[in-house]
Amino acid sequence: MSHSSGGTPGSGTPRSADLFAGAVVAAVAVAAIVVSGGFPTMAGLDTDVGPARFPIIYAGALLVLSAILVIGRLLPKRGAPVAPAEPQAPAEAFRFHRVAIGVVATAVYIYMLSLIGYLPTTVVFLIGMMRLMGMRSWVRAPIIAVAVTAFLYLVFLYALQIPLPDGSLFETGEF
């Protein structure tokens, strides 16, 4: 069992890393709510789902989960021993490089969406993120990435009637 840097038993990551991650995710969720609030709505429909609804729902869920993470790390654990008599093993170092790679990959993904389009960019991004998170199979990762990308594409195109970006590199000029 590993211990957090605060001395209380934890899940293996330092307490400060969880607090930082919770704050960053909460900030991203608030930004998503602010940005998606400006999305256009479909006029004339009272039951309009609109393109802003899903980002707001997911951002709200992120806010709740961030709050649970932060509060869970700040509150003392019930029934946890106050001070162990035996010497503690050093906490396993949190690997910030994977988090940094994930953040940079997400930023590159968002930028490449407008250039290359949703379908190829999302498949490559998902394969990379699955590999980053530990999936080692070169067979399952592409299959899952293609399936998830196709499912989301069809949901947005047919159920929500929201077109996803085709990419400016593939647009044909109107003559």
3-state secondary structure of 3: strand
Q: What is the mean pLDDT of the chain?
A: 80
Q: Quick one: what percent of the chain has pLDDT higher than 90?
A: 34
pTM over 0.85: no
Report in angstroms the alpha-carbon separations of 90 from 9, 98, 153: 12, 21, 46
- Residue 21 pLDDT level (bands cut at 50, 70, 90): confident
Pairwise pLDDT comparison (151 vs 159), residue with the higher score: 151
Distance CA 33, CA 54 (A): 10
**For residue 41, pLDDT beyond 80:** no
What is the pLDDT averaged over residues 8-34?
79
Is 43 exposed, middle or buried (CB count within 10 Å of its CB: 0-12, 13-18, 19+)?
A: exposed
Q: Does residue 96 register a pLDDT over 50? A: yes
Q: Note the pLDDT of residue 125.
A: 95
Determine the pLDDT at residue 87: 56
Tell me the mean pLDDT in the region 159-171: 81
pLDDT at 37 over 90: no
Q: What is the mean pLDDT of residues 65-81?
A: 81
Contacts of 23 (CB under 8 A, 6+ apart): 66, 70
